[in-house]
Amino acid sequence: MDVALSRNARRVLRVFFGSLVVFLYAPIAILLIFSFNDSELPSFPLSGFTLRWYHEFATNPDLRAALETSAVVAALSSVGAVLLGVLASVALVRRRFAGKTAFSALVLSPLVIPYVVFGISLLLFFHAVGIPRSILTIVIGHIVISLPYTILVLVPRLTQIDVNLEEAAADLGAGPFQTFRWVVLPLILPAVVSAWLIAFTTSFDEYAVASFVVGTRATFPIYLYGALRFPSRLPQVIAVAVVVMIVSLIVVVSAEVGRRIVERRLGTAPG
């Protein structure tokens, strides 16, 4: 007999799970519907099928510019977050040092700061120091935000790796960089990729902090929020957002699945 769930409980929970999933995906499906709706305002009743929003999005230079800007910001900040994350994770897992608790609290604390507070703190900081707001300022903010996520992905994976492997490599004469490059890195690579993807998608979709430190080039979420100000922009934006959502869903899901498969095969030993 199952110690956790009776058969009835299992049935009920399965239905509950199913309903929750429907609840979670229904609004997304509704957006999908409206991206084909032949009307400027997303309200029922539907006005007929059209592909023109997708066409308009493809030919809207400002929208494309915003997507590009977001891609650049996300690429830069995710690389930065992963770099810092790897450094911090190795320190946390493989080194002993005083103040380790404090350090791990510090690197994880961006998770618990309300983004409105962090956003304005950066705004005020850049204003006080005299740094003009730009893509760079958004990248800086996003690195801070994404760093905890990368650490949360990398630390568990690093812990799984047998430290004896590194010691064996050192015994064989490998320097620290070589050990890292040839022993550790291949083993944590799936986690690194995962961390990078999480950082990328976090940055790409991030609105709150970006809204305070954005310069003259709007990111996609900022463009999106601003598009709510003018009716004719909205349907195109829905179209592109549907595309972005589907792409990011596919990418992240397959990456996560891929990571698990690769890690299972890699185990804790290379080769």
Interacting positions 126-165 with other proteins (CB under 8 A): 127-128, 132-133, 140-141, 143-144, 147
Strand ranges in the chain using DSSP code E only, listed in sequence order? none
Tell me if 62 contacts other proteins by CB under 8 A: yes
Site for other proteins in 105-124 (CB under 8 A): 106-107, 109-118, 120-124
Residue 98: CB minimum distance to other proteins, A: 10
Contact with other proteins (CB under 8 A): which of 3, 172, 264, 271? 3
**Closest to other proteins by CB, 84 or 266:** 84
Give the angle 111-181-248 at the CA atoms, nearest 5°: 45
Round the CA-based radius of gyration of the chain to a whole number and report it: 23
Q: How far is the CB of 233 from other proteins (least distance, A)?
A: 7
- Candidates 44, 46, 49, 36; CA nearest to 238 is 36
Query: Is residue 263 a contact point for other proteins (CB under 8 A)?
Result: no
Q: What character string, x for contact with other proteins (CB under 8 A) and - otherwise, covers 17-56?
A: x--xx-xxxxxx-xx--x------xxxxx-----------
Q: CA–CA separation, 142 vs 137, rounded Å?
A: 9
Question: Interaction with other proteins in 196-255: which residues (CB under 8 A)?
Answer: 201, 205, 207-208, 211-212, 215-216, 218, 221, 224-234, 238, 241-242, 244-245, 248-249, 252-253
Instruction: Calculate the CA 89 to chain-centre distance.
Output: 18
- The upper half-sphere exposure of residue 103, i.e. CA atoms within 13 Å in the direction of its Cβ, equals 15
- Residues whose CB falls within 8 Å of the CB of residue 47, separated by 6 or more in sequence, listed in order: 37, 38, 39
